[in-house]
Amino acid sequence: ERSAGVATFKNNFSGDVLHSDCDTLGHYLCSIIRHNNSTFIAVNIYGYNNKTENDKLLDSLEERINFWLFKYPNSVLLIGGDFNIALDNTVDRWPPGQQSSYSANLKNFMGKFNVV
Q: How confident is the model at residue 79 (pLDDT cuts 50, 70, 90)?
A: very high
Q: What is the pLDDT of residues 38-54, one digit of tens each?
A: 999 999 999 998 889 99
Residue 100 confidence (pLDDT) above 80: no
Domain-embedded: residue 1:
no
Residue 9 makes CB contacts below 8 A (sequence gap 6+) with none
Q: Per residue in 34-64, is it b (16+ CB within 10 Å) or e — as a string?
A: eeeeebbbbbbbbbbeebeebbebbeebeeb
Q: What is the spatial distance between Cα 10 and Cα 112, in angstroms, rounded to a whole number?
A: 28
Residue 47 lies in a domain: yes
In a domain, 68, yes or no: yes
pTM: 0.85
78 within some domain = yes
Q: What share of the chain in percent tops pLDDT 90?
A: 58
Of 42, 46, 45, 44, nearest to 72 by C-alpha is 42
Q: Tell me the residue range of the domain where 31 lies.
A: 16-113
Domain presence at residue 105:
yes
Assigned domain for 52 exists: yes
| R_g of the chain computed on alpha carbons | 15
Structurally, the chain folds into a number of domains equal to: 1
Which CATH number belongs to the domain containing residue 62 in this structure? 3.60.10.10
